[in-house]
Amino acid sequence: MGPCTLSVMILLLTLSPSLSYDLTIMHTNDVHARFEQFNKYGSDCSEEDEANGACFGGVARRVTKINEIRDSYENTLLLDAGDEFQGTQWFYYYQGRATSYFMNHMGYDAMALGNHEFDNGVEGLFDFLYNVTFPILSSNIDASGEPELEGMFEKSVVIDVGGERIGIVGYIYSRTPEISKPGKNLVFLDEIPSVQAEVDALVADGVNKIIALGHAGYGTDIDIAKNTVGIDIIVGGHSNSFLYTGTPPTDDVAIGPYPTVVTPENAPEDQVLIVQDYTFAKYLGFLQVTFDDDGKITEYGGNPITLDSAIEEDPATLAEINEFAIPVKEYTENVIGETYVFLNGETPICRTVECNMGNVVTDAMLEDLVAYQNEDSWSDVAISIMNGGGIRASIAQACT
């Protein structure tokens, strides 16, 4: 090789740009068994709502948008940050079976466990875990005391997306035993050290693009971003936070930008992008990032996509949803009452001030207790208390 040839090679190497890698992340959280489309309150979408174009979400509509994005972009991930369980009669009828079926159908790549996945105890989670075809993640649950559950979820996973290895670490709210029913045999560890340990293991394995997928709330996500090193993106849930950059497309109020950018305290040269997708899959989270050769994010953008009536429901999926809905409707067709006013069960209301849905629930509890009192009751004065977090949806006027 002559000196001229060598000079040309050096020049080419000098002028060649570093390789970049584009990744598109779709994500959901706190879906709470919303298989069918729903109104702005998260309740059943009426014929009037549908006629007015006031219906949102539903699996069939989500499928349409997911397929459209997969057809448009080369490297995609579809992630869920937990709390698929609980919230509608679909869950009470199917437990986790419909959830696993339709999440498999949509092609989710990974999911973090949420606190509501334990609402029916550990045994209530088995069917779901047996049937999913994608990894379920949590780095801060010690399941060694629950042999049947051990090995049914992972701390992290590495997924090849377009020839690049993407590490995904799961985590769950460490105080889950206080708000759900995971039993006495599972140990829930602090989020930050658990996540950091798993990130370190991935980095040691040569992974330089890492997503933390967790169900612990927006505030905890920010704490994790500040107090760990090596995470690029956090896809969160639990707090049902609506993040949006710019003017939101609906009357939902954003509590922060999408993504929220945090600088780690021990790595001021880095940045962590935090996203969350509100609740019920009313939106589909949509984040696009560009990484350089070293795994550093150089560009990012995106916003939650509103799954409204402008997006057609996938016909084949809708046919399956309608088939699944038949026994659910039979299960719920027994009329127990009718409301002459709108019963407000909206999360921002019932978790902060008195709401009439809470009044109905507590009055019913009190009346039931009084009906069964007898001469041995210690008092005929009683109160009823309901936690706001247990109220999950509204009931429209005249609905039964």
Q: Is 307 exposed, middle or buried (0-12, 13-18, 19+ CB in 10 A)?
A: buried
Distance, in Å, from the CA atom of 250 to the CA atom of 330, rounded to the nearest integer, reads: 33
Backbone angles phi, psi at 200, to 5 degrees: -60, -40
From the list 88, 163, 92, 96, the residue with the least C-alpha distance to 136 is: 96
For residue range 165-182, list pLDDT tens digits in order: 999 999 999 999 999 999
- Specify the pLDDT at position 376: 64
pLDDT at 5 over 50: no
Distance, in Å, from the CA atom of 203 to the CA atom of 371, rounded to the nearest integer, reads: 62
Q: Which helix (H) or strand (E) holds 197?
A: helix 191-204
Distance, in Å, from the CA atom of 31 to the CA atom of 61, rounded to the nearest integer, reads: 14
DSSP 236-294: --SS--BB-SSS-SSSPPPSB-SSEEE--TT-TT--EEEE-B-STTSEEEEEEEEE-TT
pLDDT at 360 over 60: yes
Q: Is 376 exposed, middle or buried (0-12, 13-18, 19+ CB in 10 A)?
A: exposed
Percentage of the residues of the chain whose pLDDT score is greater than 90: 80
pLDDT at 1 over 60: no
Q: At 68, is the secondary structure helix, strand, or coil?
A: helix
Distance, in Å, from the CA atom of 312 to the CA atom of 19, rounded to the nearest integer, reads: 37
Tokens of 172: 């769950």
Query: Residue 179: what residue type?
Result: I
Query: Residue 5: what residue type?
Result: T
For residue range 173-227, list pLDDT tens digits in order: 999 999 999 999 999 999 999 999 999 999 999 999 999 999 999 999 999 999 9
C-beta of residue 275 within 8 angstroms of C-beta of residue 256: no
For residue range 324-335, list pLDDT tens digits in order: 999 999 998 877
pLDDT at 79 over 90: yes
Strand partners, 302: 287
pTM listed for this prediction: 0.87
- Specify the pLDDT at position 8: 41
Strand partners, 275: 235
Give the residue-averaged pLDDT of 73-90.
98
Query: Residue 165: what residue type?
Result: R
- Specify the pLDDT at position 3: 47
Distance, in Å, from the CA atom of 295 to the CA atom of 241, rounded to the nearest integer, reads: 28
Backbone angles phi, psi at 280, to 5 degrees: 65, 5
Question: Angle 191-204/218-227 helices, nearest 10 degrees?
Answer: 50
From the list 245, 219, 213, 216, the residue with the least C-alpha distance to 231 is: 213
- Specify the pLDDT at position 398: 74
Average model confidence (pLDDT) across the chain: 92
C-beta of residue 64 within 8 angstroms of C-beta of residue 311: yes
Domains and CATH numbers, the chain: 18-323 (3.60.21.10), 336-373+380-400 (no CATH)
Q: Measured in Å, how far apart are the chain's first and last C-alpha atoms?
A: 85
Other beta carbons within 10 Å of 237: 33
**Per-residue b or e along 120-158, where b marks 16 or more CB atoms closer than 10 Å to that residue's CB:** bebeebbbbbeebebbbbbbbbebeebeebeebbbbbbe
pLDDT at 15 over 80: no
Other beta carbons within 10 Å of 213: 31
Tokens of 375: 């001469």
Distance, in Å, from the CA atom of 36 to the CA atom of 57, rounded to the nearest integer, reads: 7
- Specify the pLDDT at position 337: 82
Least confident among 41-45, 94-98, 151-155, 280-284: 41-45
